[in-house]
Amino acid sequence: MSLIHTCELNEINPFDYLTQVQKHAGEVSPHPDCWLPWNYRQTLQKTTIPH
């Protein structure tokens, strides 16, 4: 519950956040500090390859 509340406090959709964390579980494990609710979007932009 506290993670969901933290997302809401940071104006992040908790479902979207948790979905991305699950999709990138292999990247989250070694660098959890890059996948916090308030900075995961920046991490996604760095890891996403443009099509």
Give 8-30 pLDDT, tens digit per residue.
Answer: 999 999 999 999 999 999 999 99
- Within 10 Å of residue 11's Cβ, how many Cβ atoms? 8
Q: Give me the pLDDT at residue 18, please.
A: 96
Tell me: pLDDT of 48 over 80: no
pLDDT one-digit tens code per residue, 33-44: 999 999 999 999
The domain limits of the chain are 2-47
Q: How far apart are CA 48 and CA 44, in angstroms?
A: 6
Alpha-helix residue ranges (DSSP H) falling in the chain:
2-9, 14-23, 25-28, 40-47
pTM for this entry: 0.83
Q: How far apart are CA 35 and CA 20, in angstroms?
A: 9
